[in-house]
Amino acid sequence: MPIALKEWAVTVRALAEGEQLITLRKGGLREADKRFRVEHERFFLYPTFDHQRHDLVRESHIPELGRALEEGVWAEGEPPIQAIEGAVNGDVAGPIPQPDRVRIRAWAQLAGHFTITDPRCLDALSPFYVWSTDYAEKRLAWKRHHPLHVLLLRTYRIPRPVTVRVKDEYGGCRSWLELQRDLPFEGTPVLSDSEFERAAEAIGAIAEGGVPALV
């Protein structure tokens, strides 16, 4: 069965637009030992609305929360009105209900895997993710004795989005899912080879060198 990495819908959208190149992981409550493990080299990107809030993404990407609702398909044909208003106005009061189905638009190849413990590295990596730096630092601080995994992803948009039913077993804080339908590893990379290579070099220098050095 196809494997997918579960991420916020707004993050999946940013990855699929080339606006984000990395994701950060420490492990979820429903993972073995509550630790993240790199189990797959190639996987689809599964959009979820769990824990997604306007104050956890940088201000420039708050409008993307409203557009990210397009990744879900609700029973009534439209997302709940409170989700639309909250996402557009940036004042989501509570969790967004999960849709009946989600649209899979992209897949990713793991292009690099680093572990970091230095907040300065995380701050230097901020041009490559759309979360607020405060939220990224909270990911680093959680389970302080465990390093934060930085995954460098080469993302591809598939030619035609595929709709996948949301199942109960997909819920909760977990990273990897087995999707129960066929999906194509096809499509076009969201960045050219040269663009991606330049960014990957900068990300590697920060994550491996431990010293912020972006110009």
Dump pLDDT digits (tens) for 90-107.
554 456 777 889 999 999
Give the model's pLDDT for residue 103: 94
Dump pLDDT digits (tens) for 138-173.
888 877 777 899 999 999 999 999 999 998 888 777
Q: What is d(CA 20, CA 13) in angstroms, rounded to the nearest whole number?
A: 9
Burial class (CB in 10 A: 0-12, 13-18, 19+), 176: middle
More confident residue, 2 or 174: 2
Return the H-helix or E-strand segment holding 55.
Answer: none
Q: What is d(CA 74, CA 80) in angstroms, rounded to the nearest whole number?
A: 8
Which contacts qualify for 81-88: CB closer than 8 Å, 24 or more apart?
Answer: 83/49, 86/54, 87/54, 88/63
The chain-wide mean pLDDT, for the chain, equals: 84
SS3 201: helix
Q: Give residue limits of the domains in the chain.
A: 3-209
Which residue in the block uniquely carries the two structure tokens 């070099």?
201
Give the model's pLDDT for residue 93: 47
Architecture of domain 3-209: Roll (2.30)
Of the listed ranges 50-54, 177-181, 208-212, the one predicted with least confidence: 208-212
Burial class (CB in 10 A: 0-12, 13-18, 19+), 133: middle
**Confidence at 54, pLDDT banded by 50, 70, 90:** confident
Of the listed ranges 20-34, 100-114, 184-198, the one predicted with least confidence: 20-34
Contacts of 124 (CB under 8 A, 6+ apart): 206, 212, 213, 214
